[in-house]
A and B are shown apart, each in its own frame.
Chain A
Amino acid sequence: MTRDEHSLIFDRSRPGRSATAQAPGTAGDAVGIPDALRRRADPGLPAASELDVVRHYTRLSQKNFAIDTQFYPLGSCTMKYNPRACNSLAMLPGFLNRHPLAPAEHSQGYLETMFELQEMLREVTGMSGVSLTPMAGAQGEFAGVAMIRAYHRARGDDERREIIVPDAAHGTNPATAIMCGYQVREIPTDASGDVDLEALKSVVGPQTAGIMLTNPSTVGVFERHIREIATIVHEAGGLLYYDGANLNAILGKVRPGDMGFDVIHMNLHKTFSTPHGGGGPGAGAVGVSRRLLPFLPVPVVVREDSGEYRHAAETDFPQTIGRLSTFAGNAGVLLRAYVYMRMLGRKGMTRVAEFSTLNANYLQAELRHAGFDLAFPERRATHEFIVTLKRQAKETGLTAMDIAKRLLDYGYHAPTTYFPLLVPECLLIEPTETESKETLDGFVAAMAAILEESQQDIDTVKSAPHQLPNRRFDEVAAAKRLDVIYRPETAF
């Protein structure tokens, strides 16, 4: 590793150098800002040429694993191919240059597209209304639980203080319930991966505001008792929240609205293939049943009798939970989801569920043949499944983390590790529908090879990765020493 490969953009900085073509040409009159309000010293942004910058960030990009370069079976994240047309069409100048507060007459093309997106999402989830404004899954969750709270409040039902969350839930679920001012009541998962109905019955009551569920659940199986759960919670006066993280598995096959859910969020960056972008931006559209319609976050796109489209806001929705973004959510992400849905069409959407499920079940069967233990061997996989290394950890010391790191050497991104928390030494594996049989076979061969290695030479596996620019990091020391911004005196 040469010094150059480690260098930061600041190391390329030279006083007096700049990419002048990027700045406006004319230096006009002096700027009349009072001295007391002015900055005294330059900020210290890099002084680099355009080529320096292009080369530096192109090289950085090459240090990433990405769907475009690697198989990325990251459970719960739905790392499917992000079609390039979705990107190029969302970046047409008319969309890119439209100001969010431009009058409706200069926004009809965009608003019509968003209206159709709302309608398609409504149809595919079986809900009564959709708002596109939440900017990420967690914000969609927030909107959903805030609507549950607004609903109870509007009925004068102020005693409901608790949200029920299964122990297998995503961490965002309990964190969201707290942000909405609720207390969290956890319930266990039974041995076959379903919600423990007896435990549920014992915790519901007049204090129950609702339950947050993912179906298929985070353990990769379809919640078979969903109707009983809906009945139990509804009879207690609570509402059902659907975490759409795993919607990919059931698209066109079963709809949250038909299962009895009152409110859902969809991760458009998962099911509808908008890019993950190294950690966002996402989009977390929410759908609601009829009784929650008045509480939708604004704005919502509506079509007038005249055929004109406009953003409806507080005046149209006086009971709204309010605004969640400065304007109207992540418009550019929503456009990408729209293009994807139009290319897929109704048949293509159903195929998403079919082939993601086929790939997961095939991979599950092949890994089992290769000697791996499944967490729920008697169940069908949905679009993902769990392998547990509990036996190997005991016998040879091989952990889920070891496999994850060694897979990187084989050119595969690691599956999700140690989630859900209730399965020991687990790998949550989600191949998605866009991967071919050959890719899955290659992954199985790598997993089998690692298992074999672990029996011959466990140290090689435990000290992986070996083929990447870096070995495993000391994260504890990093948190203690805490170097989060560059200072010249601490340069590499």
Chain B
Amino acid sequence: MPFIPHTEDDIRDMLQQIGAGSIEDLFEEIPADLRAPPLSGIPEGLPEMEVTRLMQQRATRDGEPLNFIGAGAYEHHIPAAVWQIATRGEFYSAYTPYQAEASQGTLQLIYEYQTMITRLTGMEVSNASLYDGASALAEAVLMAVRINRRSKSNRILVPGALHPAYRAVTRSIVGNQGIELVELPWDDRLGSIDANGLEAFDGQDITALVIAQPNFFGVLEDVDALTRWAEARGVPVIAVVNPVSLALLKPPGEWGERGADIAVGEGQPLGAPLSGGGPYFGFMTTRREHIRQMPGRIVGRAEDADGRPGFVLTLQAREQHIRRSKATSNICTNQGLVVTAATIHMALLGDAGLTRVAEACWQNTHQLAARLSGEGIRPRFAGDHFHEMVFDFGPDAQARVAQMSRQGVLAGHPLAAEYPDLANCVLACATETKTAGDLDRYVEALA
């Protein structure tokens, strides 16, 4: 029996101790007419060898196209050590570290993670992570509503050039609580937030401003000016940032005069494979003064009865298992194992490694732009970019992308469905994983 160790003798002895005639007798409290029919829709079990062959066939069938799609999930090299250590049974098969004495490994690792991510974002405190970037933004919006008690409107300004899925997820999660997302237009030439668009909200009750850096188009926003606009009006700022870009870009903690209030983002570029969209993790950092309004687990340093240092889950009074209906969120898990990988990844790369990755991303994407320019395909926006760009492929954009896909090159993410105004446009990125030969292949597949 797969994964069940009982022998016939065991079963007999155990039933005898229980005082039951058969295993079936143990289910006697379930009304007979509720009993399930045979599970005819579920296939017979397969030995590991056969499942292995099946999964290998399926994984291979999807091929390994040369990928230039980013749009929220980025292909980066992950050092071999990262997942070899993260999938050690002691990390992989442990539970949430509620029993601190038996979980010092996970707890210390999260404390180190919290330190690394606050250093990267320039913020003061961090939680142990949330599900992914989009859901982290939704939680940040709920948190901003709690922080900004002065505001009565529950209106959140959100860039139209914020990832469409982040807007959609935030709407799904906060919509039932009477919170409204108001979209800010982008400048048609630059691709960044139109400053004139912001002035239209002067004098209105705004609960929070969301700033994405870089934005969905890969364009860099004037984060200082935007943050100052919010600071002058007492509006909390929620930063949505790419963690790899922070090796080069000004961290949210330094935006404007006093920095963003909350910084969130997708942690995937820090050691999580693309893996079809997950599991990733969302990071969330904030100012120390807001820590009690932050959702999710937080690890703190503690001393034991002998005065020896160690780590515990702290401020648990914010959480659902204690506060129930008055909790800051219903969230129960963090993305522990992916955070384990991310912590090892950041430790291996260090400042120098992460900076080189970020620089190589910038260079490769700008080289791609130069190559495409030679083919008459130009960046759609004139603003500064990090490692992703919108390219105008002309009226047959979708057909060209489909044709390239058949040749094994994923040219980028077509924007037509999400942005009808950008129907000819494709969002593409070339991370550090791309070589000059890969760029050649891109251009050849265009022809």
CB distance from A102 to the nearest CB of B (A): 6
- What is the chain A residue whose CB lies nearest that of B345? A22
- What is the chain B residue whose CB lies nearest that of A65? B102
- What is the chain A residue whose CB lies nearest that of B360? A24
Query: CA–CA, A20 to B350, complex, Å?
Result: 9
Contact between chains at B69 and A101 (CB < 8 Å): yes
Contact between chains at A484 and B125 (CB < 8 Å): yes
Q: Mark A84-122, 1 if CB is under 8 A from B, else 0.
A: 010101011111111111110111111011000001101
Interface positions of B from 167 to 206, Cβ below 8 Å from A: 168-169, 171-173, 175-178
Residue pairs across A and B with Cβ atoms less than 8 A apart, 6 shown, are A66-B89, A94-B61, A325-B278, A326-B165, A343-B45, A437-B6
Q: Which of B152-160, B230-238, B301-309, B373-381 contacts A (4 or more CB under 8 A)?
A: B301-309
Given contacts A26-B360, A46-B350, contact A94 B223 (CB under 8 A): no
Contact between chains at B96 and A325 (CB < 8 Å): no
Is B64 part of the contact surface with A, judged by Cβ < 8 Å?
yes
Is A54 part of the contact surface with B, judged by Cβ < 8 Å?
yes
CB distance from B300 to the nearest CB of A (A): 5
Query: CA–CA, A1 to B306, complex, Å?
Result: 12
Q: Give 5 A-B pairs besides A99-B75, A408-B99 with Cβ atoms closer than 8 angstroms.
A: A20-B353, A67-B93, A100-B274, A101-B413, A485-B126
Is A221 part of the contact surface with B, judged by Cβ < 8 Å?
yes
Q: Chain A residues near B425: list those with CB within 8 A.
A: none
Is A189 part of the contact surface with B, judged by Cβ < 8 Å?
no
Query: CA–CA, A331 to B303, complex, Å?
Result: 39
Is A60 part of the contact surface with B, judged by Cβ < 8 Å?
yes
Is B393 part of the contact surface with A, judged by Cβ < 8 Å?
no
Given contacts A74-B95, A408-B101, contact A253 B360 (CB under 8 A): no
CB distance from A256 to the nearest CB of B (A): 10
Query: CA–CA, A276 to B27, complex, Å?
Result: 28
Contact between chains at B106 and A278 (CB < 8 Å): yes
Q: How large is the interface on B (under 10, 10 to 19, 20 to 34, 35 or more residues)?
A: 35 or more
Contact between chains at B69 and A102 (CB < 8 Å): yes
Interface positions of A from 282 to 316, Cβ below 8 Å from B: 282, 297
Is A479 part of the contact surface with B, judged by Cβ < 8 Å?
yes
Is B416 part of the contact surface with A, judged by Cβ < 8 Å?
no
* Choice from B132, B324, B346 contacting A175 with Cβ under 8 Å: B324
Query: CA–CA, A328 to B54, complex, Å?
Result: 22
Is A456 part of the contact surface with B, judged by Cβ < 8 Å?
no
CB distance from A144 to the nearest CB of B (A): 11
Contact between chains at B336 and A61 (CB < 8 Å): no
- What is the chain B residue whose CB lies nearest that of A178? B325
Is B421 part of the contact surface with A, judged by Cβ < 8 Å?
no
Contact between chains at B111 and A484 (CB < 8 Å): yes
Given contacts A280-B335, A325-B169, A471-B305, contact A98 B274 (CB under 8 A): yes
Interface positions of B from 123 to 137, Cβ below 8 Å from A: 124-126, 128-129, 131-135
- What is the chain B residue whose CB lies nearest that of A145? B176
Contact between chains at A332 and B276 (CB < 8 Å): yes
* Choice from B77, B91, B102 contacting A413 with Cβ under 8 Å: B102
* Choice from B42, B99, B134, B352 contacting A326 with Cβ under 8 Å: B134
Contact between chains at A50 and B348 (CB < 8 Å): yes
Contact between chains at A95 and B305 (CB < 8 Å): no
A-B pairs with lowest CB-CB distance, top 6: A345-B45, A327-B277, A68-B89, A277-B337, A94-B59, A100-B277
Query: CA–CA, A98 to B410, complex, Å?
Result: 11
Is B363 part of the contact surface with A, judged by Cβ < 8 Å?
yes
Is A200 part of the contact surface with B, judged by Cβ < 8 Å?
no
Q: Chain A residues near B440: list those with CB within 8 A.
A: none
Interface size on A, residues (CB 8 A): 199
Query: CA–CA, A160 to B115, complex, Å?
Result: 45
Contact between chains at A57 and B61 (CB < 8 Å): no
CB distance from A77 to the nearest CB of B (A): 6
Is A191 part of the contact surface with B, judged by Cβ < 8 Å?
no
Is A436 part of the contact surface with B, judged by Cβ < 8 Å?
yes
Is A128 part of the contact surface with B, judged by Cβ < 8 Å?
no
* Choice from B6, B46, B300 contacting A355 with Cβ under 8 Å: B6
Is A395 part of the contact surface with B, judged by Cβ < 8 Å?
no
Contact between chains at B169 and A23 (CB < 8 Å): no
- What is the chain B residue whose CB lies nearest that of A47? B350
Is A391 part of the contact surface with B, judged by Cβ < 8 Å?
no
Contact between chains at B352 and A138 (CB < 8 Å): no
* Choice from A36, A95, A109, A258 contacting B34 with Cβ under 8 Å: A258
Q: Mark B104-121, 1 if CB is under 8 A from A, else 0.
A: 111011011011101110
Q: Chain B residues near A56: list those with CB within 8 A.
A: 347
Given contacts A92-B56, A281-B279, A324-B169, contact A349 B351 (CB under 8 A): no
Q: Chain B residues near A460: list those with CB within 8 A.
A: none
Is B356 part of the contact surface with A, judged by Cβ < 8 Å?
yes
Q: Chain B residues near A327: list those with CB within 8 A.
A: 72-73, 165, 276-278
- What is the chain A residue whose CB lies nearest that of B47? A343
Q: Chain A residues near B40: list those with CB within 8 A.
A: 123, 346
Is A427 part of the contact surface with B, judged by Cβ < 8 Å?
no
- What is the chain B residue whose CB lies nearest that of A177? B325
Q: Chain A residues near B124: list those with CB within 8 A.
A: 485
Query: CA–CA, A483 to B291, complex, Å?
Result: 12
Q: Mark A158-179, 1 if CB is under 8 A from B, else 0.
A: 0000000000001110111111
Query: CA–CA, A260 to B384, complex, Å?
Result: 57
Contact between chains at B309 and A6 (CB < 8 Å): yes
Query: CA–CA, A463 to B305, complex, Å?
Result: 9
* Choice from A42, A110, A355 contacting B351 with Cβ under 8 Å: A42
Given contacts A85-B51, A97-B274, A331-B275, contact A23 B105 (CB under 8 A): no
- What is the chain B residue whose CB lies nearest that of A347? B45
CB distance from A164 to the nearest CB of B (A): 13
Q: Which of A222-230, A234-242, A447-455 contacts B (4 or more CB under 8 A)?
A: A222-230
Query: CA–CA, A82 to B92, complex, Å?
Result: 9
Q: Chain A residues near B96: list those with CB within 8 A.
A: 276, 278-280
Given contacts A108-B61, A278-B337, contact A141 B330 (CB under 8 A): yes
Query: CA–CA, A105 to B409, complex, Å?
Result: 12
CB distance from B425 to the nearest CB of A (A): 15
Contact between chains at A99 and B132 (CB < 8 Å): no
Query: CA–CA, A17 to B5, complex, Å?
Result: 49
- What is the chain A residue whose CB lies nearest that of B299? A484
Contact between chains at A31 and B88 (CB < 8 Å): no
Contact between chains at A321 and B274 (CB < 8 Å): no
Contact between chains at B102 and A98 (CB < 8 Å): no
- What is the chain B residue whose CB lies nearest that of A320? B172
Query: CA–CA, A469 to B107, complex, Å?
Result: 13
Contact between chains at B102 and A64 (CB < 8 Å): yes
Contact between chains at A58 and B88 (CB < 8 Å): yes
Contact between chains at A32 and B57 (CB < 8 Å): no
Is A358 part of the contact surface with B, judged by Cβ < 8 Å?
yes
Contact between chains at B333 and A136 (CB < 8 Å): yes
Is A69 part of the contact surface with B, judged by Cβ < 8 Å?
yes
CB distance from B225 to the nearest CB of A (A): 10
CB distance from A447 to the nearest CB of B (A): 15
Query: CA–CA, A160 to B298, complex, Å?
Result: 36
Query: CA–CA, A81 to B5, complex, Å?
Result: 11
Contact between chains at A254 and B95 (CB < 8 Å): no
Is B20 part of the contact surface with A, judged by Cβ < 8 Å?
yes
Given contacts A323-B165, A357-B27, A434-B5, contact A61 B276 (CB under 8 A): no
Q: Chain A residues near B304: list those with CB within 8 A.
A: 470-474
CB distance from B397 to the nearest CB of A (A): 14
CB distance from A244 to the nearest CB of B (A): 13
- What is the chain A residue whose CB lies nearest that of B272? A332
Interface positions of A from 385 to 415, Cβ below 8 Å from B: 404-405, 408, 413-414
Q: Chain A residues near B332: list those with CB within 8 A.
A: 136-138, 171-172
Interface positions of A from 345 to 379, Cβ below 8 Å from B: 345-351, 353-355, 357-359, 361-362, 364-366, 379
Query: CA–CA, A224 to B176, complex, Å?
Result: 34
Interface positions of B from 401 to 435, Cβ below 8 Å from A: 402, 405-406, 410, 413, 432
Contact between chains at B172 and A323 (CB < 8 Å): yes
Contact between chains at B3 and A97 (CB < 8 Å): no
Is A207 part of the contact surface with B, judged by Cβ < 8 Å?
no
Is B399 part of the contact surface with A, judged by Cβ < 8 Å?
no
* Choice from B26, B131, B178 contacting A358 with Cβ under 8 Å: B26
